[in-house]
Amino acid sequence: MFSKDTYIERRNELKKLVKSGIIVLFGNNDSPANCPANGYSPFRQDSSFLYYFGQQREGLVGVIDVDNDKELLIGNDIDIEDIVWFGSVDSVKDMAEAVGVAATAPMKHLDEVCQEAIRLKRKIHFLPPYRADIKIQIFDLLGIHPSRQKEAASLELIKAVVKMRSVKSVAEIEELERAAIIGYNMHTTAMRITKPGLTEKFVAGQIEGIANSLGSMVSFPIIFSQHGEIMHGNPSMNILKDGRLVLCDCGGETMEHYCSDNTRTFPVNGKFTQRQLDIYSAVEEAHDAALAISKPGMKYKDVHFAVCRIIFDRMKELGLAKGNTDDALAAGAHAIFLPHGLGHMMGMDVHDMEALDQINVGFDEETRPNLEQFGTNALRMGRRLEEGFVVTDEPGIYFIPDLIDDWRASGYCADFLNFDDLDKYKDFGGIRIEDDILITKDGCRFIGKDRIPYHPKDIEDYMASN
């Protein structure tokens, strides 16, 4: 946990931003894997509850009465049956005191709090729920059907939480640096052990163990696949083959649940072919260009399209694309190579605050998403960067056979693409390079002291010597 004062200051700032009403922040409950007593492990607390109330036990709810400047931690103390199986834990009162909350109550009291607020016609602020049990709890408490809870969630609270969690404190950055150490160990282990004859799943299993042993858990399900053209390619029992590239996208969470998220693409046999280098160098250039131009005041949407311009120009040099680059980008032709956005917010969630809806996190009144154009509609982060933001820089180039066939058949962007040459790359896969960057006063910097190898020679040298 952070210091008691950290949580007190965060809740005080939240009160100022929300201004009136009652804020109800739901912690998570245990989630059964296949029977009530067999829960997923480790338990993962809701990030916004964790941000303001700091406690990682299941079955807690935080209540903040803005008008009366009162706070309450609600939850049931465990009984002797629980202690027999799980050991003794702090009381709810002890947990409240540790984060500067003066009052506690059992869970049944939450209904009284909500009913009194409803009687007095006071605003009850809650965040969009994403777990079914919490949706049912909100239905029982407030009578709002689960299908209407997202739109009924408090926009004032959402905006306040986004404003606060977007800018990382010094202590949070230190946690992200710790997460980067876990990510470094995961990725360099993958490079060390990858070789022809192993399965994708074997390597992924080894690096997941590192996340579990050095921190809390993986920050998202590991992507490790020779089919790098599949954005979220789960590791399979497929055998790693000599001459193929493998894409590894993974990260770990610290015990405070701050995340790392990196991607590396490297040859199974440790040596790039010239054909692979042709594509890899374009992604490398785009990745480094984003680092060079990202700074406070710059729209990340503009950084994204600067990267798309580099990629399309490089594809023209290889004969895979053609025409005026600006016209091609306006038409969306670049998305056949890069069908996702350049990056997303990072922090306590790997896609930070995504449960609060990306339009509230990655965009604002000035910068709105384009939901119509393929590829651009997947842009998660477009707003102006601010000092203290942490975002991912993750350009890629992918050759998706079905997408190539679909665009050829429909004639989509035919003026900008050489489909006959693209057909020759249907067996290529995909390449992505991803790092987490902190926006500083004058520019940006990597999160993490040790750099996971990503320049081709560095990758080859590392794999050869380890």
Check residue 210 and give its pLDDT: 98
| 319 pLDDT higher than 90 | yes
pLDDT tens track for 136-170: 999 999 999 999 999 999 999 999 999 999 999 99
Angle at 275 between CA 270 and CA 280, to 5 degrees: 70
Residue 237 has a pLDDT of 97
Of the pLDDT bands very low, low, confident and very high (cuts 50, 70, 90), residue 328 is: very high
pLDDT at 79 over 90: no
Strand segments, DSSP code E, in 60-192 are 61-65, 70-74, 103-105, 124-125
Of 195, 231, 225, nearest in space to 396 by CA:
231
Contacts of 194 (CB under 8 A, 6+ apart): 203, 240, 246, 266, 268, 463
Percent of residues, the chain, with pLDDT higher than 90 = 94
Instruction: Give the pLDDT mean for 18-35.
Output: 95
Give the chain's end-to-end CA distance (angstroms, integer): 36
Per-residue pLDDT band at 86 (split at 50, 70, 90): confident
Tell me: pLDDT of 80 over 90.
no
What's 416's DSSP letter?
A: G
CA distance 342 to 300: 8
Residue written as tokens 């991803």? Answer: 434
The confidence score (pLDDT) of residue 327 equals 98
- CATH annotation of 170-465: 3.90.230.10
Q: Please state at what angle helix 274-293 crosses helix 456-465, rounded to 10 degrees.
A: 120
Confidence of residue 83 (pLDDT cuts 50, 70, 90): confident
Say what the pTM is.
0.95
Q: How far apart are the C-alpha atoms of 299 and 296, rounded to whole Å?
A: 8
Going by the DSSP 8-state scheme, the letter that residue 220 receives in this structure is S
Q: Is pLDDT above 90 for 36?
A: no
Sign of CA dihedral 436, 382, 398, 314: negative
Question: Per-residue confidence at 94, pLDDT binned at 50, 70, 90?
Answer: very high
Longest Cα–Cα distance in the chain: 73
pLDDT digits over 226-258, tens only?
999 999 999 999 999 999 999 999 999 999 999
pLDDT at 176 over 90: yes
Instruction: Look up residue 429 and give its amino acid.
Output: G
Given this model, what pLDDT does residue 48 score? 98
Token readout for 443 is 């520019």
Sheet holding 435-439, edge to edge: 390-393, 435-439, 444-446
In this prediction, residues 331-335 reach a mean pLDDT of 98
Domain boundary assignment for the chain:
4-166, 170-465
Quickly name the fold that domain 4-166 has. Answer: Creatine Amidinohydrolase; Chain A, domain 1 (3.40.350)
pLDDT tens digits, one per residue of 256-314: 999 999 999 999 999 999 999 999 999 999 999 999 999 999 999 999 999 999 999 99
Q: Is 108 exposed, middle or buried, given 0-12, 13-18 or 19+ CB atoms closer than 10 A?
A: exposed
Helix axes 274-293, 300-317, angle to 10 degrees: 150
The confidence score (pLDDT) of residue 84 equals: 86
* Interstrand relation of 38-39 and 103-105 (parallel, antiparallel or unpaired): unpaired
Query: How does residue 88 score in pLDDT terms, banded at 50, 70 and 90?
Result: confident
Mean pLDDT of 110-121: 97
In sequence order, the β-bridge partners of residue 74 are: 61, 105
Q: Is the pLDDT of residue 61 over 90?
A: yes
Does the CA dihedral 165-167-173-176 come out positive or negative?
positive
